[in-house]
Structure 1
Amino acid sequence: MLGYYVREVHHGVVAYAHEAGWVLDGSMAHFGRVPADWHGDGIIAFSANRADILDKIQNENVPTVDMFNGPGMPGLPRVWIDNEAIGRMAGDYLVSRGFQEIGYFYYDPEVANPLNETERSAGLRQGVQAAGRRFHSVTFDQCVAQIRKLPRPLALMAQNDVVGDWLIHKLREEGLRVPQDVAVIGVDTDELYRAFSPVPQTSVDSNMEYQGYAAAKLLDHLLQGNSPPASPVMIQPVRVVERKSTSLLSSGHGATNKALAFMQERYAEPITVNTIARHAGLSRYHLNEHFQQHVGEPISRHLLRIRLDHAREGLADADEKIENLAFALGFKSAAYFCTVFRQETGLTPAEFRHRARIRERRPGRKNGSSRH
């Protein structure tokens, strides 16, 4: 019973159901109505504030897993998207692009998810302020007037790609350029909005397909008579998918921008801090000093961040062996790459790939399960 707009959640549930041999009632996915005549073994829900879903859960009295980040039926086991981690990832990305002025755009309170807004903006604020950047809040009803008063270039995070697309349209209608005046980053990597947005939108991949898969896996655990976890299962974001809406290096310092661009282009080569400094036309000492001031971290740390971002992309999108991927990204050994990757993400490269590529196990995919 997933009364939710993102199809990836449904795909994740279906992928696990296919592997487990379940029979699913998917009528809600098409009609949006709770199936009145259904009586089964378990429920996967996205309860939101829908009384009909909550009533059905209560009346059926079967093992249930809920995926709604917010108040629902008390006591249900939950699988939640980690909103603060999403905000931090967006903030880290925008800082790495050199933005000094970074903010959160709060959408129409009548339709926005208030918990998502609160937690994602809090995560963004943490990352931005930890890096010494200026954080701004932009509200829905006065957004254009507020944006015109803020320093530019400004980078804004939106709750999701739907809101980000609305903001991009609004900015362009008001004569503000994206990304030259205002860069925009959304959440969910929604393919529909990528396809028709006037400026392709950078987005945090919130791993919603894996959320659906993990919720089904937890339900299976409950159906086998096991106890639910004591706290919600938290799903971490995968990566930032970079597109044109943030394609701007804006540290405010020419040599630092040259260094940033050089690293973006040559990250896979065995470059060093000395190599980067020579390209930027400064001594290693002076470039490090400027880099720390304008980007907020050492050059070596930033280069590692770029390589790890591309590692996430490679693990999620390609079948390259992990050892080959490590060398292709400029790491000195596969063992060092695996150690660093786990330190940064909490997962091994293999675990990360498993979570990021649930879509490859959808029924009918070439490498999907053929049990049923």
Structure 2
Amino acid sequence: MSHPSQADRSGKVPHRIALLFNANKIYDREVITGIGEYLRSTRVAWDLFLEEDFRCRLNGLEHWQGDGIIADFDDPAVAEILSRSPLPVVAVGSSYQDEADYPGGVPYVATDNFKLVRLAHDHLIDVGLERFAMYSLPESTVNRWAQEREKAFIKLAGADAPINRGLATSPDGWNSASERLVSWLNALPKPVGIIAVTDARARHLLQACLTAGIAVPEEVAIIGIDNDPLTRNLNRIPLSSVAQGCEEMGRTAAHMLHQMLNGARLGNTRILVPPVGINVLASSQYQPLSSPYVMRARHYIRQYACQGIKTEQVADYVGVSRSSLESYFRRELGYTVHQEILLFKLEKAREMLLQGELSTGDIAVRCGFTSLQYLHAVFKRELGCTPREFYDRSKDARGVPPTVTQ
């Protein structure tokens, strides 16, 4: 860690920069991605130090003979040890309503918690919901950002809007935590829109709703924060989520440190970065319905559409005849049960296409289409284009899906 850097081909000696993040989290990984983008776009000569297992360790940091540090100041231990660092430091972390909560003496790049929660809240209002709740995290010095999101929620939804902090995740307490969450969900007046402070907490909500037989989003609409693809792929019902501006935070932090290495004095400079937008998926696509049979049917379809279910299976789950269920669907939605199944499979296929990780053949299989040809036929009929044409049209220069809305 302390060896001198060698000059690069241009004859410059690269600056040695430590990145103190827990890159096992999507938030930290995207900040680091933004730092990398800044280095590539500017050709800054930096030697980066990052732990091989992506965890942030502080042992021996005070003896590190580097040139600068970009660090996650949401961890109070990091903030404490770097308050004594003689090196240029740029802090990255949460925004705070109380100015006194910000660290002093360092430039600070923050995710704008109020705007994150406001975007989620506005989306739930836009789909027609009038009741709101929040699922947060237990109060902790390392979760101060979660409490800031609670404060933003109270400002937007009112002091009477319910907030459940739940329990910390642990193997021995999982059953108890799940039971308490189900009880809370059952007690909430419906329909209700719930903002989770992270996608991980949103996933807990989805699991609890499935356990309790609560229809998502007809009874409980859910939206998370992080837009984490890993969490999204673990859910049977696709999760809506607010995308933070983490890559922009990383680019901004790198630019600030670059300025400091060139002699700039940034002091208590503070920059708040707004969210990118919302990835709107099934978990928050609330639509007022009067028929409980249609609500239960759509809940079942969202879980099992891609497994090749038929109308008869949906009717059996709901507990009515096929003809009665078809009648309810036509009256409420103006189309058939089969069309609802097909529309959900199409939405899932579109999402997978935009991720760009699978072939169209694999997507057809995973979404429950009987053949690749049938997938193409559905795309042409419903969207007027082939899957490949949809992908090409939908990606902008930075690869952001069109479902992300400001």
User: Which interval holds the TM-score relative to the shorter structure?
Assistant: 0.5 to 0.7
Query: 3-state SS of the aligned residue for 2:46?
Result: coil
Deviations 1:297-330 (A, max 9, x none): xxxxxxxxxxxxxxxxxxx99xxxxxxxxxxxxx
Counterpart in the other structure of 1:74: 104
CA drift of 1:9 comes to 1.4
* Distance in 2 (alpha carbons) for counterparts of 1:181 and 1:111: 34
Q: Closer, same or farther in 2 for the Cα pair 1:175/1:90, shift >3 Å?
A: same
Which residue type is aligned with residue 209 of structure 1? E
* Distance in 2 (alpha carbons) for counterparts of 1:113 and 1:248: 30
Does residue 48 (structure 1) correspond to residue 74 (structure 2)? The answer is yes
Counterpart in the other structure of 1:211: 249
TM-score (norm: length of structure 2): 0.56
Counterpart in the other structure of 1:220: 258
Residue of structure 2 aligned with 1:241, choices 279, 287, 290: 279
Residue of structure 1 aligned with 2:88, choices 58, 63, 78: 63
Query: 3-state SS of the aligned residue for 2:265?
Result: coil
Query: 3-state SS of the aligned residue for 1:33?
Result: coil
Counterpart in the other structure of 1:161: 199
Deviates more, 1:117-126 or 1:238-247: 117-126
RMSD, aligned α-carbons: 3.2
* Distance in 2 (alpha carbons) for counterparts of 1:93 and 1:232: 28
Does structure 1 conserve the Cα–Cα contact (< 8 Å) formed by 2:113 and 2:149?
yes
CA drift of 1:171 comes to 2.2
CA drift of 1:177 comes to 2.4
Residue of structure 2 aligned with 1:97, choices 109, 127, 136: 127
Query: 3-state SS of the aligned residue for 2:164?
Result: strand
Counterpart in the other structure of 1:136: 162
Residue of structure 2 aligned with 1:23, choices 23, 39, 47: 47
TM-score (norm: length of structure 1): 0.60
Does residue 9 (structure 1) correspond to residue 31 (structure 2)? The answer is yes
* Bigger relative contact order, structure 1 or 2 (CA pairs below 8 A, ≥6 apart): 1
Query: 3-state SS of the aligned residue for 1:80?
Result: strand
CA drift of 1:204 comes to 0.6
Query: 3-state SS of the aligned residue for 1:225?
Result: coil
Unaligned runs of 5+ in 1: 253-315, 318-352, 360-372
Counterpart in the other structure of 1:295: none
CA drift of 1:128 comes to 4.1
Counterpart in the other structure of 2:234: 196
Which residue type is aligned with residue 173 of structure 1? T
* Distance in 1 (alpha carbons) for counterparts of 2:248 and 2:114: 18
Counterpart in the other structure of 1:265: none
* Distance in 1 (alpha carbons) for counterparts of 2:47 and 2:78: 22
* Distance in 2 (alpha carbons) for counterparts of 1:240 and 1:90: 8
Counterpart in the other structure of 1:120: 149
* Distance in 1 (alpha carbons) for counterparts of 2:163 and 2:289: 21
Does residue 151 (structure 1) correspond to residue 176 (structure 2)? The answer is no
Which residue type is aligned with residue 65 of structure 2? H
Q: Closer, same or farther in 2 for the Cα pair 1:233/1:49, shift >3 Å?
A: same
* Distance in 2 (alpha carbons) for counterparts of 1:180 and 1:111: 36
Q: Closer, same or farther in 2 for the Cα pair 1:171/1:111, shift >3 Å?
A: farther
CA drift of 1:103 comes to 1.4
Query: 3-state SS of the aligned residue for 1:156?
Result: strand
* Distance in 1 (alpha carbons) for counterparts of 2:35 and 2:59: 18
Displacement over 4 Å in runs of 4+: 70-73
Q: Closer, same or farther in 2 for the Cα pair 1:139/1:232, shift >3 Å?
A: same
Query: 3-state SS of the aligned residue for 1:12?
Result: helix
For residues 219-368 of structure 1, what are the structure 2 equivalents within 5 Å?
219-228=257-266, 230-250=268-288, 357=398
Q: Closer, same or farther in 2 for the Cα pair 1:21/1:113, shift >3 Å?
A: same
CA drift of 1:193 comes to 0.7
* Distance in 1 (alpha carbons) for counterparts of 2:191 and 2:224: 17
Q: How many residues were matched structurally?
A: 254
Does structure 1 conserve the Cα–Cα contact (< 8 Å) formed by 2:181 and 2:205?
no
Does structure 2 conserve the Cα–Cα contact (< 8 Å) formed by 1:43 and 1:65?
yes
CA drift of 1:167 comes to 1.8
Q: Closer, same or farther in 2 for the Cα pair 1:29/1:79, shift >3 Å?
A: farther
Unaligned runs of 5+ in 2: 1-19, 168-179, 291-353, 356-395, 401-406
Deviates more, 1:4-13 or 1:33-42: 33-42
